[in-house]
Structure 1
Amino acid sequence: MPNRRMPTREFVRHRVRGSRRRALATLPSLFTLANMMCGFGAILVSIRGEYPLAAVLVGLSIIFDITDGAVARLVGAVTPFGLQFDSLADLVSFGLAPALLAFTIFSEGRDEWDPLGWIVCFLWVACAAIRLARFNTTIDPTADKRYFTGMPSPGAAGVVLASVFAFGDQMQGRDRLWVLLIVAVPAILMVTNIRFRSFRSLVSPKSGKPYGLIGMAIALVVGFALWPVVTGILLAYGYLLAPLLLPVVSPLARLVPDRLKEALS
């Protein structure tokens, strides 16, 4: 006689597999939510004048933003919902939070009419929104996936937070107009057609070439452990100036062995 329990077992197995798939599909969104939470927290503590803490929270947002994409590719949960949710979180963490952090430092926390600071910080928010919208709507299968068009918003936010740690005390005051350049230059670069290197291939769990990721992770851990401020400045401003520096240092790439190039590509 046929076993009547078989359909029940298959039904239970199907439900369990479906629950696992839903749980895995939700996992990247949890990292995106953590990204948004850190960005929102950075806004709140910036208003209270706790600028280093705000910069730390923006830095955590960058880590969560990198992680959610890697997790989504790992579990095969790259969805249109995840893309839109990630962009909304990025607008909070890398659009509103850095702009408000820079403005509160520049205005020294005083709620006064400050047209120059308002305009420049709004320029940041507007450029971040345009950058994210363009990224979501521009789908070119033939584009080189190794590069972004325009400076990515997390990289631009890194310039602000690295500057806060490096010379935060010298940034306060309306007479420090150079502070606005820290905001305006990355903001404009976000909406240009200048290509910036994407490191998604390094952090992809399916890349099959972990050597670049391991080497970069070790270098960053050692650098931030021993010289956190210097490492942050070199990382943030190095990426900012990369389009200008690469043509200068590219001839030195000939000295790198081909095997090492292939491993890091």
Structure 2
Amino acid sequence: MNFIKNNLANVLTLGNLFSGCIGAVHLILGDYKITAIYLILSLVLDFFDGFVARALKANSNLGVQLDSLADMVSFGFIPGLTMFVALTDNSYSHIPWYAYSGFLLTVFSCLRLAIFNLDEDQKYYFKGLNTPSNTILIFGLYYAFKKTQSYELIFSNLYLMIAITIVFSLLLVSPVKMIAMKFKSMKLEDNYPKLALLIGSIIILIILGTVGIPMVILYYILISLIFQKQLT
């Protein structure tokens, strides 16, 4: 029983990794809906592995390392692969040299995860954009483009795609504070940023639906910038 208790969170983490691997394969194959499903599964598992570890008091150094390694695939490799696929227009017979620039997102995701593991300040906020949010933004933009032709301006412009790659790669490792959905207290005034984020996100999704998913991440960044002084 103790073995199950101590390792249940790690099993969920490995499930996140496995789900990310499947999502990456289907992304290459052009099955974007399947990739979206497995990304959602990875997000759910990523949330619950930490929740379960805390609930069962089964936190461990092994769990910390596994969590980052799993996230590196689901939320590090996939956004880079998404931009690579976008820059090749899903045609691999001739891969242009600039398509590999998409993997800057993967490189900086790795750096961001390593920094996070060593930084003890990021308990109630993040420094820089967290990797799951970055993945939702990058893949969400491309998924909406492929399914509804939304954001065509982005994916019809090589320089804009590369600019987005560079900007969000740097944002991953920036010192800018970002909202984390962890409650330091239950006082209303301490949670204004979270409430503004939650209410605004719901409104965006109601109005725009699936197309609004990447907009939620941009709104998240904006709200975090507005409430910088309250994020401690």
TM over 0.5: yes
- Choose the corresponding residue for 1:240, options 204, 221, 225: 221
- Choose the corresponding residue for 1:109, options 90, 94, 98: 90
Checking the alignment, whether the CA contact within 8 Å between 1:106 and 1:176 is kept in structure 2 is yes
Checking the alignment, whether the CA contact within 8 Å between 2:75 and 2:131 is kept in structure 1 is yes
- Choose the corresponding residue for 1:97, options 78, 100, 107: 78
2:172 corresponding residue in structure 1: 190
Q: Normalized against structure 2, the TM-score is what?
A: 0.79
TM-superposed deviation, 1:220: 7.3
1:135 corresponding residue in structure 2: 116
Q: CA RMSD in A?
A: 3.3
1:167 corresponding residue in structure 2: 145
**Aligned mates of 1:25, 1:221 — CA distance in 2:** 36
**Aligned mates of 1:52, 1:193 — CA distance in 2:** 34
1:178 corresponding residue in structure 2: 160
SS at match of 1:109: coil
2:130 corresponding residue in structure 1: 152
1:15 corresponding residue in structure 2: none
**Aligned mates of 1:102, 1:147 — CA distance in 2:** 27
Instruction: State the aligned residue count.
Output: 221
TM-superposed deviation, 1:164: 2.4
Cα distance per residue 1:66-116 (max 9 Å; x no partner): 111111111111110000000000001111112112211221222224222
Please say if 1:66 is aligned against 2:44: no
TM-superposed deviation, 1:31: 1.5
1:88 corresponding residue in structure 2: 69
Amino acid at match of 2:221: L
TM-superposed deviation, 1:147: 0.9
Checking the alignment, whether the CA contact within 8 Å between 1:51 and 1:101 is kept in structure 2 is no
SS at match of 2:59: coil
SS at match of 1:148: strand
**1:221 to 1:195, Cα distance in 2 relative to 1, 3 A:** closer
Unaligned residue ranges in structure 2 (runs of 5+): none
1:24 corresponding residue in structure 2: 5
Please say if 1:200 is aligned against 2:178: no
Amino acid at match of 1:137: L
TM-superposed deviation, 1:36: 0.8
Cα distance per residue 1:151-204 (max 9 Å; x no partner): 1111111111221233234379674432334433222111111111111339xx
- Give the fraction of aligned pairs with identical amino acids, expressed as a percent: 26
Checking the alignment, whether the CA contact within 8 Å between 1:148 and 1:195 is kept in structure 2 is yes
Q: Normalized against structure 1, the TM-score is what?
A: 0.70
Checking the alignment, whether the CA contact within 8 Å between 2:84 and 2:103 is kept in structure 1 is no
Unaligned residue ranges in structure 1 (runs of 5+): 1-18, 254-265
**Aligned mates of 1:218, 1:193 — CA distance in 2:** 26
**Aligned mates of 1:194, 1:39 — CA distance in 2:** 27
Amino acid at match of 1:44: V
Greater gyration radius: 1
**1:185 to 1:219, Cα distance in 2 relative to 1, 3 A:** closer
TM-superposed deviation, 1:221: 8.3
- Choose the corresponding residue for 1:77, options 47, 58, 74: 58
